[in-house]
Structure 1
């Protein structure tokens, strides 16, 4: 969240363009800041007030120290315009909280449209096309809730179960998949979301493009806007799984990585037929083909060479061929594949 966004919301309130619901939110956030206390302002400081308020509201989220109760409306020399600007700041915080723990009802309100629901009651995948051209393939038992028309500034849907999303590109309106536990935000890409509900780990796996995943909990969006905590960014062949015990998002490679699509792949062609090629080149080609990181445990592995045709094989088979030829092995640590072994002697 930038200061420009903050000022924009402040102006919106002063122009009287907030709803009754937002006014109630203002009162809730006034109570929060009222308990924490605010510095006294002089009339001459009016022009700098909104900058100070910005700093106060930004800092308060992580401030856990005991504070004294002060009523800022009772302070001497507080002008009506200053109080109005302060409430505008509260509105900003309240507005973000109102969309924080996202629900289907919140999606409908944000879009100002009727919410549709599609449930796959069959034993086969079912395809749903949304009004923006996005295609969603629902796995058996999955339920998708979506507005019949999206909001002007974003596109939101709510998912229960598993689905594959092929999102239509629209840089002006980010696409958000909300579930009970996670929020997945993209602009235009394809990915899989598994949101099976309580007792089951939620998961997001990226096929093309890049997505941002965060927890769908009270305060998660707001903290993410301010500090980027509780967010992970995923690229092709990466997935994020919500740990049910720690409630943290663990990022790793997908079970079966596939070569990058034309959209994400490097412009130059990648070959998989090698003749006495240095292992560094072989591994580099794999990295570029799959968009992943491959690192040797011992740099002496780069002294090894590889001869063979790996075309048409999956990543696991390719790694097995390469490692067996140089007496090495491989392990996966997060999103990195490590080649283990002593390597080969260098040239004399």
Structure 2
């Protein structure tokens, strides 16, 4: 049912009777139709938004009755002159009424001549919370929650997910997640505990970054004034990618996958990802499972493998080099990095974190007969 609009450009939308009717008199059914359309063709979001602005503009200007044909021709001549006489397909000058002027406004918006919008190109690259929310509300109204208090504020979403909203932060979402995705818009910082639903992915839009999950818990820090956006994962898995990658057939392949105790720092200026471990990795196993991790004169390789299971991190080491290294220790008291310092000190090794992995450097240990 969406195929008709698969290759539409801005001018095509504005000249479409059903599209015009939706902008003029939106209904629950038409809102859902266009929301689902954008989920199927996310790359059409800029064209749809520009077309909606054009239709709204014409409604505000009262262009129900077009001026004389001669004036219309002059408008098109001016557009072509601004574009150094690049030929433009003239839409509907033989037609009467709305479509002719709608097409003209659409072309003005698409080509950036700037009669009505000085920066229409910016609308095709949403980067701020306000812009993202305004675009989302062209499809359906959103609920906004703001936390101006010193204490975290708990927000219960319609799907059972819970957001802990931190100070000076705000979040917007639909009253009902009716489409194929559950979409939330954030500025500031918040912890998300998402209800699992593999059939309806959960998407968080935070400035230039999109975080996609099926069901997990994670934290996002994305204040408007900050140079970086940080996403850290507590449980489950999330994928993060730049918002502009939404036009890619598979945007997740352009970003990064995060697992527990990992975080990514997204530099907004150059859209660069830097994955690492969180400052204080948490234990992922139960107390009962932890009881088995007590070692007496055990191979250090076995201890490293245990740490990988306990914290869900990758520890890279040369098993042959440390084959003679043995220690007596337990994994119950210190943090991950404290444990690593103790182990490395005991075998004369060092460690560093690279791309969310712990890399061990060692000269080995003398063999004890």
- Where 1:246 maps in the other structure, the secondary structure is coil
Residue in 2 that maps onto 1:10: 3
Secondary structure of the corresponding residue to residue 137 of structure 2:
helix
* Residues 29-108 of structure 1: pairs in structure 2 closer than 5 A: 101=126, 103-108=132-137
Equivalent position of 2:183 in the other structure: 156
Secondary structure of the residue aligned to 1:212 is strand
- Deviation, structure 1 residue 338: 1.2
**Distance in 2 (alpha carbons) for counterparts of 1:168 and 1:124:** 24
Q: 1:296-307 maps to which residues of 2 (within 5 A)?
A: 296=317, 299-307=320-328
CA distance 1:211–1:227, change in 2 (3 Å)? closer
Write the distance in 2 (CA, Å) between the matches of 1:108 and 1:160.
Answer: 16
> Structure 1, residues 57-94: CA drift from partner, whole Å, max 9, x if none?
xxxxxxxxxxxx998xxxxxxxxxxxxxxxxxxxxxxx
CA contact (8 A) 1:154 1:175 kept: yes
- The reply on whether 1:271 has 2:298 as its aligned counterpart is no
Q: Deviations over 1:121-165 (max 9, x none)?
A: 111111111111110001111111111111231111110000000
Give 1:228 deviation, angstroms. 4.7
Q: Is the 8 A contact 1:99 1:106 kept in 2?
A: no
Q: 1:252 maps to what in 2?
A: 276
Secondary structure of 2:308's aligned partner: helix
TM-score between the two structures when normalised by the length of structure 1: 0.67
- Unmatched runs of 5 consecutive residues or more in structure 1: 1-7, 30-68, 72-97
Larger radius of gyration: 2
* Alpha-carbon contact 1:184-1:212 (below 8 Å) kept: yes
Structure 1 residues 188, 228: closer, same or farther in 2, change over 3 A?
closer
How far off its partner does 1:309 sit? 2.3
Match of 2:228, SS? coil
Output one character per residue of 1:188-243: Cα deviation in whole Å (capped at 9) or x when no partner: 100000101144211111111111101123xx1122x2475431111111111112
Q: SS at the partner of 1:156?
A: strand
- Alignment correspondent of 1:318: 339
Q: Which residue does 1:285 correspond to in 2?
A: 306
Aligned partner of 2:163 in structure 1 is 136
Q: Is the CA contact 1:329–1:340 (under 8 Å) kept in the aligned structure 2?
A: yes
Q: How many pairs were matched up?
A: 268
Please say if 1:308 is aligned against 2:329. Answer: yes
Q: Tell me, yes or no, if structure 1 residue 180 matches structure 2 residue 207.
A: yes
Closer/same/farther in 2, CA of residues 332 and 17 from structure 1, 3 Å limit:
farther
Task: Return the alpha-carbon distance in structure 2 between the equivalents of residues 26 and 189 of structure 1.
Answer: 28
What CA distance in whole angstroms lies between the structure 1 residues aligned with 2:366 and 2:321? 7
Aligned twin of 1:231: 255
CA–CA distance in structure 2, aligned partners of residues 144 and 244 of structure 1: 20
Distance 1:286 1:28, change over 3 A: closer
TM-score under structure 2 length normalisation: 0.64
CA drift at 1:168:
0.8
Give the Å deviation of 1:285: 0.5
Query: Separation in 2 of the partners of 1:200 and 1:228?
Result: 22
Q: Which of 312-321 and 269-278 deviates more?
A: 269-278
CA distance in 1, matches of 2:195, 2:45: 36
Of 328, 338, 351, 1:330 maps to 351
Give the direction of change, closer, same or farther, for the CA distance of 1:328–1:200 in structure 2 (3 Å limit): same
Asked if 2 retains the 8 angstrom alpha-carbon contact of 1:100 and 1:222, the reply is no
Label 1:13 to 1:284 Cα distance change in 2 as closer, same or farther (>3 A).
closer
Structure 2: 5+ residue runs without aligned partners? Answer: 8-15, 24-33, 38-43, 49-86, 90-122
SS in 1 for 2:275: strand
Structure 2 Cα separation of the partners of residues 178 and 27 of structure 1: 16
2:292 counterpart SS class = coil
- Matches of 1:189 and 1:26 in 2, distance apart? 28
Distance 1:323 1:27, change over 3 A: closer
1:221 match: 246
Task: Note the aligned Cα RMSD (angstroms).
Answer: 3.5
Higher mean displacement: 168-177 or 228-237? 228-237
